[in-house]
Structure 1
Amino acid sequence: MDLSLDDLLRVEVRGAARYPQPLSDSPASVTVIAHDELREQGYRTLAEALSSVRGVYTSNDRNYTYLGVRGFSRPGDYNSRVLLLTDGARRNDALYDQAQVGNEAPIEIDWVKRLEFIPGPGSAVYGGNALFGTVNAVMLDGGDVEGARVSVDAGSGQSRRLGAVAGRRLANDGDWFVGFAAYEAQGEDLYHAEFDDTATDGWARGLDGETYQKLYGKLSQGRWRLSGSFSRRDKDLPNAPFGTVFGEAGTRTLDQHGLLDLAHDSHLENGWQQQFRVFSGAYRYDGDYRFADGLDNRDQARSTGRAHWFGGDYRLSGALGVGHRWMFGAELQKNARLLQRLFDVNRRTVLLHTDNPSHTYGFFVQDEWRLHPQWLLNVSARRDQHSDYSPIVSPRVALIHQPTRDLTLKAIFDHAYRPPNAYERFYADGIFQKANPELRPERVRSVELAADFRLGQSGRAGMSLYRNEMRNMIDQVSDPADGFLVFDNLPPVRVHGVEVDAENRWAAGYRLRGSLAWQRSRMADGSTLANSPRLLGKLVFGLPLPGGWTAAGQWQGMADRLSRNRRSASHGLFNLVLSAPHRAGLGEWSLGLYNLGDRRYSDPVSSSFVQDAVEQDRRQFRLRWTLAL
């Protein structure tokens, strides 16, 4: 936590190449959020932490939180174009391919030691989903805790949370860690002008409730590591999606995740290292939707989704020839069950029942070639075979030049893909939406030029210019022939932009990090993508106060965005967290104030809603007490 910036630039990151390497050698413009910032800034979710990264933004429809990366975030796409990892293990589910990062995420931000964000395509080493970015959450070890601590939160919306972590190092290179969290909130009373008519006043009162329970643990012994997690999140929906009754309870969703992962790594006699992993995961989604018929009788339709998958991967890495660091790998995932059901509870009518198992396997190779002390070439390629599609090859070439100790230049060329998920291909309710089994995989071609400058011993600045071109973009559209919604492949989309960022750390404990991103998206007809802001600005700071107190905060600004029929206004948000020093036997206190200026703003939402955009939370607070046991 006391590393200088010079040390931080040499921190090993794993997410870009699937093995540890210095930031300056990674074949991407990686951003690392260290544990001290995660703690001081009072981030409540993965999404809040990631929104401080240059070129990243979030939106929320009062159910899920969505990540936008470099101008691309389709309303309602369930984060299927971003890959989420925990200690290198894939966390996207097999049914919707979603990377959940809000309260619905399978892990808590309090269990994360370091957060790595790798922008740009990553299919060359990870396969599908790593289309616009990869998030790797490096989880706490027992040695990071060496005991136990409990935290209790209270906040806006009558929210309360109980969290606990425990862990220790063991003899013979062992380690164990356990984390638990439980949360409950009544939520806010929300006004929706679209429902303000003679039948209702437009207010959804007491309909924004949420609860979750999460458990995570891992045990390491020598070269073996076993980890597992379970989470369940229940959320009331206050904004009447899919034509449900507005202003009445009964419309809600449930998300449940489970993952068991066993990993082993060892060193061979020739100096090479091998790693293998086997895993098994499960995901469950239940949606209760209350509708009204012409007689004012109310039926409850339930949409269920269950997924179970298992698989494994193997990697072999080491030196082969002068200046070459090779990695060879293979990965297999079998989606044994991808069940989607829709039925009317009262009438016992089945509207949809489909199960479409699938499997994927891929082989990849990577060569990190030190051409010269100042030149590094990273070449990687992966060939993936999906059971329903032809093989797809995803290459990546990154040329890195370090002419001086203080300057790093990178040129990166990437190709990536994403196969359609089971929901996009096979979901049909017979009322609003129909299936499209003939969907083709999305493909992205990316070019990026990046520069990183060291400014003295404690500062740095960076700049990136990029261009992304997507073919076969999958989006939900209305079929003019019958009016049904359907997922279809659209004409090419291009996004280009420039990002600049800088940071500095002072010996007295002051920190400052800022970024500015300009991005422009264009569809084939010349129109702009929905939910694609032209400008993003970030400023993150931390400073010591008298008496051992600390203050940390951030300002985030976003330009206006296009929704379906209008533009959501630009806005700027300011968050502030005050933390008291640790008192022996009394613990630590912190107060977080979010959207301190009480700004009113809205996020664009999908065609599942009557609204073009949904208003977000106004000023909120969270009071936290933490006690080490």
Structure 2
Amino acid sequence: MPLHTLSPLLERRKKRGKSLHLSRLACWGALLFSPLAAASLEAGKLIDLPLEELLKIEVVSASRFAQSTTEAPATVAVIEEDELRQHGYRNLAEALVTVPGVYSSNDHNYTYLGVRGFNRPGDYGTRILLLTDGARRNDPLYDQALFGNEAPIEIDWVKRLEFVSGPASAVYGPNALFGTVNTVMLEGGDINGARASLDAGTWNTQRFGLVAGQKLEGERDWFLGLAAYQSGGENFYFPEYHNGTSNGRADGLDGERYHKAYAKFRWGNWRLAGNFSSRTKDLATAPWGTMFGADGTWNRDTTSLIELRYDGDNHKGWQPSFRAYRGGYRYDGSYRYETSPNSKDRATAEWLGSEFHLAYTGFAQHKLMAGVDAQWNTRVEQVYYETDPRSAILDTNNPSRVVSVFAQDEWRFLPEWLLNLSLRHDKHSDYSGVTSPRAALIWNATPRLALKAMLGNAYRFPNAYERFYHDGNVTQSANPNLKPEQIHSRELSATYRIGQGGRVGASFYDNDIRNLIDQVTDSSGVSTYTNLGKVRARGVELDAENRWSGGYRLRGSVSWQRSKLENGGILADSPKWLGKLVADVPLPHGWIASGEMLGVAARDGNNGAVPGYGIVNLKLSSARSNKLGQVSIAVYNIGNRRYYAPTNAYLVQHAVEQPRRQFMLRATLGL
């Protein structure tokens, strides 16, 4: 996690360059697809599953219990296991950007997700909550949610990916402002054996993965996932560094490597899970004024989590759930400078906590839940020092705790009507308590049409980095007096089922953000985090999908969004349009072709406007064979298009070029 100065993140609206034609094609193609999927197709071409089966798609992250997507008190997107495997998504971010309203950027260090027009440059996912099997993964030091190769888990271990749009602090507390991502992990019974995968790709990329598991007698089940990865990375040309002393080339400086492990054992109602990951990234972009074109600047993220969980049986309407956990995160950064002394960062967080929830269904037409959560952040340490000789600049430790209570009621007051009410109160040891309500009125007007009206509040406390980090007030100063930021959200959505294999949906949202935490720089060049004014974000999302017999599938979406400051300024990294198309086509001899077309409109950046783009990814997969396994080849950015993302303020580049065409060959073999 970079710990150096950031410039002001808010930009007044600038003249934008014209978006690339392909980005417009992706947006309008997705829009035109909506009526196409909605059209009544020949009955013989539709999949054979009855409508009732399609409606049984369930999520657990919207309310902490299983419910259909049409009855969840939020707009929910689900990516099932077959798509996760067939499309060659290499990490969580690549899958999530196919969801309506979600986009990403990469500064060749971290991957950043934007949701509904909101993605602050240099913000490490603090306003998105990441869960694995319902367990919080945002650390208490940076509040970061990691979605790229730096994520703590591999997508090969994920059975289902759930994305809940909008605020969910009424259920989960801090960070769930714009969206909640829940990864439902594989069980041993989903494997019943073992399989290994070997990847080889562009830039001397290599990866080895292993998943194994078994369902045993006596309601026991175990799962194990291992992964190791390394890549030489890209070679870059940055014109900003093409001067009398440098030719602007940064070759062989973009390497990356990681090791990850995940294990889970279940016996009856009990489950024990553990996760460890360590990822090291070389930095070729010369961030924070480090020496360009030289090695020695890198960072490492290490995460760990172990949890014990009990999910009781339903006894006379009562069903308890208990969880205890311990987590850890460490950031190590090494920075090489040309003239000033080299420096290092070390940031460490350790925390432990427990949750107890009790559900009750004894009242007719009600599903009640109440719970208590507590987390103790026992170590929240930040150290920054110069080397040769060592000179300490920052050495702080700011432990904290959060205690929460919440209650929820799902009331079916008429056969077709649901009212979902949630309320949560969180007390941080350094702040006054925050109360977060949520209400959703759901009308299943017909067996095919579902309408929702939703209101909700969410918040996040300032994290330790924003409050306490400084470098001796040379470029950044601390601000321990930051206030929590809050969001008030209003949303209307509709979903209509077409035939037996299709659906169309629409969502209209309006978000107000108060006390936005952002970084500003004074006249002397010293930056600090502060609370700014009100931000309003509003938009429309249209999406559609259809499945046909034989494995044909097509889904798409188009989103319009606008985020503005109360003074009229446009937020940086907030594209006006997004468009997505995702398709699967069966081929002869059991092969499957899968692909995505992604379009993002122009965006303002910290250092100027960045044009829009459109890219296409394609993957071919062979049929699975018990003896020969499976072979696949994927091509990312098949058109080899040049496209860019806005830069963070700690980079001098106008924009950061995103990856050009890449190939990946994978061989999977059952063991």
TMscore range, shorter length = over 0.9
State the Cα RMSD in Å.
1.2
CA distance in 1, matches of 2:406, 2:367: 14
Task: Answer yes or no: is 1:214 the counterpart of 2:257.
Answer: no
CA distance in 2, matches of 1:597, 1:62: 21
Task: Answer yes or no: is 1:228 the counterpart of 2:274.
Answer: yes
Query: Would the alpha carbon gap of residues 560 and 218 (structure 1) be closer, same or farther in structure 2, given more than 3 Å must change?
Result: same
SS of 2:151's equivalent in the other structure is: coil
**For residues 74-93 of structure 1, what are the alpha-carbon distances to aligned partners after superposition, in whole Å with 9 as ceiling and x for unaligned?**
01111011000000001111
Task: Answer yes or no: is 1:597 the counterpart of 2:597.
Answer: no
CA distance in 1, matches of 2:423, 2:379: 29
**For residues 27-50 of structure 1, what are the alpha-carbon distances to aligned partners after superposition, in whole Å with 9 as ceiling and x for unaligned?**
001000000000111100000000
Deviation (angstroms), 1:565: 3.5
Query: Would the alpha carbon gap of residues 4 and 578 (structure 1) be closer, same or farther in structure 2, given more than 3 Å must change?
Result: farther
Task: Answer yes or no: is 1:338 the counterpart of 2:380.
Answer: yes
Stretch moving more, 582-591 or 53-62? 582-591
Task: Answer yes or no: is 1:315 the counterpart of 2:361.
Answer: no
Contact 2:607/2:647 (<8 A) preserved: no
Deviation (angstroms), 1:25: 0.8
Alignment of 1:57-456 (within 5 A): 57-267=103-313, 269-293=315-339, 299-430=341-472, 431-456=474-499
Contact 2:319/2:360 (<8 A) preserved: yes
SS of 2:95's equivalent in the other structure is: helix
Deviation (angstroms), 1:4: 6.7
SS of 1:561's equivalent in the other structure is: coil
Query: Would the alpha carbon gap of residues 361 and 622 (structure 1) be closer, same or farther in structure 2, given more than 3 Å must change?
Result: same
* TM-score, normalised with respect to structure 2: 0.92
Task: Answer yes or no: is 1:479 the counterpart of 2:522.
Answer: yes
Contact 2:551/2:586 (<8 A) preserved: yes
**For residues 577-600 of structure 1, what are the alpha-carbon distances to aligned partners after superposition, in whole Å with 9 as ceiling and x for unaligned?**
001122342221000000001111
Give the share of equivalent positions with the same residue, in percent. Answer: 54
**For residues 234-275 of structure 1, what are the alpha-carbon distances to aligned partners after superposition, in whole Å with 9 as ceiling and x for unaligned?**
000000111111110000000000000100011353221100
**For residues 99-134 of structure 1, what are the alpha-carbon distances to aligned partners after superposition, in whole Å with 9 as ceiling and x for unaligned?**
101000000000000000001001000000101000
CA distance in 2, matches of 1:371, 1:141: 36
**For residues 333-383 of structure 1, what are the alpha-carbon distances to aligned partners after superposition, in whole Å with 9 as ceiling and x for unaligned?**
010000000011212100100000011011000010001011100000100
Contact 1:4/1:505 (<8 A) preserved: no
**For residues 268-322 of structure 1, what are the alpha-carbon distances to aligned partners after superposition, in whole Å with 9 as ceiling and x for unaligned?**
53221100100000000001011121xxxx6321000000000011110122422
**For residues 486-532 of structure 1, what are the alpha-carbon distances to aligned partners after superposition, in whole Å with 9 as ceiling and x for unaligned?**
11111100000000000000012100000000001111221110000
Alignment of 1:513-528 (within 5 A): 513-528=555-570
CA distance in 2, matches of 1:377, 1:340: 45
Deviation (angstroms), 1:485: 1.3
Deviation (angstroms), 1:5: 6.6
Contact 1:587/1:625 (<8 A) preserved: yes
Greater strand proportion? 1
Task: Answer yes or no: is 1:511 the counterpart of 2:557.
Answer: no
Task: Answer yes or no: is 1:465 the counterpart of 2:508.
Answer: yes
CA distance in 1, matches of 2:531, 2:144: 19
Contact 1:10/1:24 (<8 A) preserved: no
Task: Answer yes or no: is 1:588 the counterpart of 2:630.
Answer: yes
2:542 aligned partner: 500
Contact 1:5/1:459 (<8 A) preserved: no
CA distance in 2, matches of 1:7, 1:194: 56
AA aligned to 2:629 is: G
Contact 1:176/1:218 (<8 A) preserved: yes
Q: What is the number of residues matched between the two proteins?
A: 624
Deviation (angstroms), 1:615: 0.8
Query: Would the alpha carbon gap of residues 489 and 173 (structure 1) be closer, same or farther in structure 2, given more than 3 Å must change?
Result: same
2:18 aligned partner: none
* TM-score, normalised with respect to structure 1: 0.98
CA distance in 2, matches of 1:479, 1:50: 37
Which consecutive unaligned segments of at least 5 residues does structure 2 have?
A: 1-46
Bigger relative contact order (CA 8 A; separation at least 6):
2
Contact 2:127/2:179 (<8 A) preserved: yes
SS of 1:25's equivalent in the other structure is: coil
> Which of 60, 65, 68 is residue 22 of structure 1 equivalent to?
68
Task: Answer yes or no: is 1:32 the counterpart of 2:78.
Answer: yes
**For residues 189-224 of structure 1, what are the alpha-carbon distances to aligned partners after superposition, in whole Å with 9 as ceiling and x for unaligned?**
011111111110111110000000000000000000
CA distance in 2, matches of 1:220, 1:2: 35
AA aligned to 1:425 is: R
Contact 1:278/1:312 (<8 A) preserved: yes
Task: Answer yes or no: is 1:552 the counterpart of 2:598.
Answer: no
Contact 1:512/1:541 (<8 A) preserved: yes
AA aligned to 2:512 is: E
Query: Would the alpha carbon gap of residues 2 and 349 (structure 1) be closer, same or farther in structure 2, given more than 3 Å must change?
Result: farther
CA distance in 1, matches of 2:505, 2:291: 50
Which consecutive unaligned segments of at least 5 residues does structure 1 have?
A: none
Contact 1:398/1:412 (<8 A) preserved: yes
CA distance in 1, matches of 2:77, 2:314: 32
Stretch moving more, 134-143 or 317-326? 317-326
Task: Answer yes or no: is 1:623 the counterpart of 2:645.
Answer: no
AA aligned to 2:109 is: N
CA distance in 1, matches of 2:190, 2:452: 34
> Which of 556, 563, 571 is residue 605 of structure 2 equivalent to?
563
Deviation (angstroms), 1:409: 0.1
AA aligned to 1:215 is: A
